[in-house]
Structure 1
Amino acid sequence: MRGTTGTATGRERLIGQFRALFHVLVRAWPSLLLTVLLAALALPAGMLIASGLSGAAQSAPGPSQTPGWQLEPEWLSVPQGIGPLSTTAPVPVPAEVAARLDPVLRTDGGGSFTGVVQDAATGKVLFDRDGMANRVPASNMKLLTAVAALRAIGPDSRFATKAIAGPASGPAGGASRTVVLVGGGDVLLGAGESAEDKVLGHAGLATLAKLTAESLRKEGFAGPVQVLVDDSLFTGPSLNPAWNPDDVAAGEAAPLFPLALNSARFDPAVTTGPRPQDAAILAGETFASQLKAAGAAAGLKVGAGVGRLEGKPAADAAVLGQVESATVSQQVDLMLRDSDNYLAETLGRMAAVAAGEPGSNEGATAAVMRQLTDLGIPTSGMTVADVSGLALANQVSARQFAEVVRAITSGPDTRLRAALGGFPVAGLTGTLGDRYVDDSSAEGAGLVRAKTGTLNTVIALSGYVVDADGRLLVFSFIGNDLTPGAAGNKPALDASATVLAACGCS
């Protein structure tokens, strides 16, 4: 069925409106349930009031008994979510998809767009515009990192940050002690108490400090204590040489360490601007301050300044306290939703460590390539220079990204399903929260889920959507050599994904 290009037919518009209403109802079902209950309460109450006003005869009072409608319900019906997609939904006709996409997938000024659309269930290619051409993908690289982290580390894994007993120091070797803060890969540490309902700040240094102070108190030790940091889990250069120094200066990235506060931000509420250049020492200083406060009542003395541990801690060093991060799947969601470069690079290195390889730039890129190959994703011609997408040396095709999204949505490795919730939702969350607001793409709001990518002359959008006939489609659109600042390029990608959502192209 063919409709006007870029605009839903009346039938498609109705289906889109029904979908949007359905999602609203699912999200709002507790409020709707309350409304129904209130209405149920109001009807009998209204009858009683009407009876009183009309002067109807009142029966003699009998034994007090709570009416059934006032009793607490024994159970509540759970609303049914969207069930499995119908396997009988028609697969779009490639010619129909191309007829709708070609007029809207156009650049504003210079450069070009490549693109691939596939049927998720069968892998059938429904649209292909130079889909095998290598392109600079920007932050779409994080989709590859998500796959590597979920496979190599595991969705339910957590990273531990420990405080361990270090060697004695000072005159006679026993006048003071060291406490070593050991980085285990959690760069989302909070300065305060652990917040177990959150991802950023799930593990808090104040909580770790209290556990450590209590352990020292039980030993009868009151100090002085010197805090050291062990950040030896990561090796090699802390900055990827493929990154533009201007991007680092602007805060797009920072030197990598296996522990950091707020994903290497000074303030969790400020996600732009320069970052700490030594996130490990800053975390150590914060921990030392919290340890001083936690041990004050017991007379614990904490020395000024924080240093780095030389060498490795003793294998049998006593653990004084430990806090654990949010799960890897939760961290992957945060990375994809907010396009967090620092977190992406950390997860790449942790994927390498999990595979027994060095936690370095080279280890991270090799881990991504290895996991893609093991998953059966074609990597011919692919170049992985970093795992966050800042490097212009990255080269990945739209077809390869479409295959990665297909592996996440419907591939045989079900661990990858943990990444689905991290894809930004058009017009609602993450890096798509302020898009899909104009006439060309508004009908895709709430329906399109995709990872964005943006550099000076690069934009990309790779994700998934259910079309008007109920068929799950995966797609990837990548623009390179674009005119910097051209206003029409992002809307063109958004409109293209919206076309797929509205497509009844069978």
Structure 2
Amino acid sequence: MNLTRRGLLAGLGATVVVYPVLARAQAQIGAVAPVATLPEVLFDVEAAVAKAKLGGEVSFAVMDAATGAVLAERHADAMMAPASTLKVVTSLYALQKLGPDHRFVTRVLRSGDDLILAGGADPLLDTDGLARLAADTAKAWQGTPPKRFLVWGGALPRRDRIAEEQDDYLPYNPAISGMILNFNRVHLGWKAGQFMLEARGGSQSPRSYTVAVGAADRASPLFTYDGSGKKESWTMARSAMGKSGARWLPVRRPELYAGDVFQTLCRAKGLVLPTPEVQEAAPNGTEVATLSSAPLSQIIRGMLKYSTNLTAEAIGLSASGAASPQASAQQMQDWLRTILPEDHFEFHDHSGLSAQNRLTAVSLTRLLVKEGDRDGLRDLLKHIPLRDEKGQAKDSDITVLAKTGTLNFVSNLSGYAKAADGREIAFTILTGDEPRRAANEGRELPEGVRSWTRRSKIMQQAMIEGWLDGGPAQIAGPAVAAGQASVVR
């Protein structure tokens, strides 16, 4: 017999929302946990939901992290936009397909008198790393300077942006390519009406010559983009500039951007390269220099902390080897189906940026319980501090390791929470106002989204504290009652 919260409430004719709490299962994942009788209401979730005033849907699933016993749920099978919590799925997928020690390699090849910069889909390659590669190349190159300088980005399928529905100028929605530099972003700064575009790194920030920007006398839009010429061309609304400012812009021609920067860095070391050209065919030649990335596990740790969309796409596409982003998302979906054959989900990318992605709270929580320890995902998740009413981190006996997920009028949290006495839960909380999200698709900070997101996060924290601070009875429940409930299978 499968016993759910809705079934219990319907049978009791309850008008006050309480949550059934299942006894801690003694068997391993795949066993059936007995059902506990309803404890006293230690935390009124519905009151927290009402106080948040989010509208839309609030869905969650809470399970014992060791056994998978379902401890609490609310609309846990509702198909919701996962936003960046989808990166949890992508992380597990990449770890299992590539291995935690996998490294991405950027190569410089010599083919006759041609020099080829071959991208290896390294999502963390920055200007400082490219400078080291340029120095090694200049030192190793023998003879006359190259007659042609080619850049290859075919290690990944090419796409002008991750999600078409997002605004052109959003830096977290750049082009996808096997040649990645600075997350395929260029740094724009302006002062007294003058613009500066840089490939900004930690210690090296050469000028970018493949991107241009100018001011336009208009109130909106903030930016316009034109990729029809030899350069990527942006205009910025003069009314939004002020005296000075800075921001990142996405790069749509990553091979030429990286080639331009590499040319500058090589020149500084005495090797003069011709104007970069894009090479479509897979390169052949003798290796002149190489640069390896950090191991995949370290890359994933940073991705989960900073939620970098391009990193998620790069590791997901590398894991699948698919010919297109759409096919790659489908392969990840098929992989997850082998783990959760009866669950419902729909993927259209690896980062969660697409508005078409759908996932349920119960599916993501089951995945955390079943697969989270296999490749060390739990230890790669970000520590989420609990905060007081002023938003300041506060002392707490609860430790939260989780992944956030945010779109306009979508705010999610999924991971693990552990009490001081060792009780640990896996949980997923999904909140979303779909009509407002759809109405503000791709816009940067629409009216009301900041306060909406803040209220959602306050509610999420209240739920975690309520589930764990109520004491052992909140998790284990009182004496076992008749009946059984399904747990993770």
TM-score, with length taken from structure 2: 0.69
Structure 2 residue corresponding to 1:500, chosen from 455, 460, 467: 467
**Residue type at the aligned position of 2:134:** A
Q: Which amino acid aligns with 1:436?
A: R
Relative to structure 1, is the Cα distance of residues 454 and 310 closer, same or farther in structure 2, using a 3 angstrom cutoff? closer
SS at match of 1:259: coil
Q: Report the Cα distance in structure 2 between the residues aligned to 1:502 and 1:165, rounded to whole angstroms.
A: 63
State the alpha-carbon separation in 1 of the partners of residues 246 and 335 from structure 2. 30
Report the equivalent of 2:272. Answer: 301
2:48 equivalent in structure 1? 104
Equivalent-residue separation in structure 1 for 2:334 and 2:136 (angstroms):
39
Total equivalences in the alignment = 371
Query: What is the aligned-residue identity percentage?
Result: 26
Alpha-carbon distance between aligned partners in 2 of 1:488 and 1:473, rounded to the nearest angstrom: 23
The AA in structure 2 aligned to 1:289 is T
**Residues 152 and 179, structure 2, Cα contact 8 Å, conserved in 1:** no
Q: Does the CA-based 8 Å contact 1:444-1:497 persist in structure 2?
A: no
Alignment-mate amino acid for residue 230 of structure 1? W
**8 A contact 1:265–1:271 mirrored in 2:** no
Task: Please state whether the residue corresponding to 1:488 is helix, strand or coil.
Answer: helix
Higher strand share: 2
Deviation at residue 95 of structure 1 after TM alignment: 4.1
Contact 1:351 1:367 in 2 (8 A): no
SS where residue 118 of structure 1 aligns? strand
Distance 1:422 1:265, change over 3 A: farther
Per-residue deviation, 1:223: 1.4
1:255-281 deviation line (CA, Å, top 9, x unaligned): 101122222233357996422222222
Answer yes or no: is 1:366 the counterpart of 2:324: no
Structure 2 residues not aligned, in runs of 5+: 1-25, 28-32, 187-199, 203-244, 437-447, 477-489
Q: Distance in 1 between matches of 2:153 and 2:257?
A: 12
Instruction: Output the amino acid matched with 1:104.
Output: A
- In 2: Cα distance, 1:141 partner to 1:443 partner: 29
- Aligned residue for 1:233, secondary structure, equals coil
One-letter code aligned to 1:490: K
Change (3 A) 1:470 1:283: same
1:239 correspondence with 2:165 = no
Once the 2 structures are TM-superposed, how far is the Cα of residue 284 of structure 1 from its aligned partner?
A: 1.5
CA shift for structure 1 position 229? 0.4
Change (3 A) 1:458 1:426: same
The counterpart of 1:311, out of the listed 258, 263, 281, is 281
Distance 1:449 1:98, change over 3 A: farther
1:292 corresponds to 2:212: no
- The 5 A counterparts of 1:8-19 are none
Which deviations, in whole Å up to 9, do the C-alpha atoms of 1:19-65 show, x marking residues without a partner?
xxxxxxxxxxxxxxxxxxxxxxxxxxxxxxxxxxxxxxxxxxxxxxx
SS class of match (1:187): coil
2:169 corresponds to: 249
Indicate the residue corresponding to 1:488 in structure 2: 455
How far the C-alpha of 1:123 sits from its partner, in A, is 0.8
Q: CA deviation at 1:406?
A: 1.5
How far off its partner does 1:446 sit? 6.6
Change (3 A) 1:101 1:361: farther
Q: Does the 8 Å contact 1:384/1:393 carry over to 2?
A: yes
Match of 1:458 in 2: 410
| SS of the residue 1:245 aligns to | coil
Instruction: Label 1:473 to 1:136 Cα distance change in 2 as closer, same or farther (>3 A).
Output: same
Where do residues 112-191 of structure 1 align in structure 2 (5 Å cutoff)? 112-166=57-111, 168=112, 177-191=113-127
Look up the equivalent residue of 2:430 and give its one-letter code.
I
Could you tell me which amino acid in structure 1 is paired with residue 83 of structure 2? A
- Partner SS state of residue 188, structure 1: coil
SS in 2 for 1:281: helix
Aligned to 2:226: none
Matched-pair contact (CA < 8 Å) for 1:138–1:390? yes
More helix by share: 1
Residue 167 of structure 2 corresponds to residue 215 of structure 1? no
- CA distance in structure 2 between the aligned counterparts of 1:262 and 1:132, rounded to whole angstroms: 38
CA distance in 2, matches of 1:249, 1:421: 34
Q: Which amino acid aligns with 1:380?
A: D
Q: Deviations over 1:417-449 (max 9, x none)?
A: 1x223322123xxxxxxx623289945587112
Deviation at 1:115, TM superposition (A): 0.6
CA deviation after TM superposition for structure 1 residue 160, in Å: 0.5
Q: Partner amino acid for 2:460?
A: L
Tell me how far 1:136 sits from its aligned partner: 1.0
Query: Does the 8 A contact of 1:97 with 1:127 survive in 2?
Result: no
Q: Deviation digits for residues 257-310 of structure 1, max 9, x if unmatched?
A: 11222222333579964222222221122222222222x2xxx4322x211114
SS at match of 1:213: helix
2:388 aligned with 1:437: yes
Tell me, what secondary structure is at the counterpart of 2:145? coil
Q: Of the two, which has the highest radius of gyration? A: 1
Query: Are the aligned partners of 1:426 and 1:446 in contact in 2 as well (CA < 8 Å)?
Result: no
Q: 1:137 to 1:98 in 2, by over 3 A?
A: farther
Alignment of 1:423 with 2:349, yes or no, is no
Q: For structure 1, list consecutive stretches of 5 or more residues without a partner in the other structure.
A: 1-86, 169-176, 193-203, 428-434
Say what the alpha-carbon RMSD is for the aligned residues.
3.0
Contact 2:61 2:429 in 1 (8 A): yes
Alpha-carbon separation, structure 2, partners of 1:274 and 1:320: 32
The SS at the match of 2:383 is coil
Amino acid at match of 1:438: E
State whether structure 2 residue 180 is matched by structure 1 residue 260: yes
Code of the residue aligned with 2:277 in structure 1: it is: G
Residue 161 of structure 1 aligns to a residue whose secondary structure is strand
Tell me the equivalent position of 1:68: none
| CA distance, structure 2, for counterparts of residue 255 and residue 445 of structure 1 | 43
Which letter maps to 2:249?
Answer: P
Ranked by relative contact order (alpha carbons within 8 Å, sequence separation 6 or more), the top structure is 2
Is the alpha carbon distance of 1:333 and 1:453 closer, same or farther for their aligned partners in structure 2, counting shifts above 3 Å? Answer: same
Equivalent residue letter for 2:379 = G
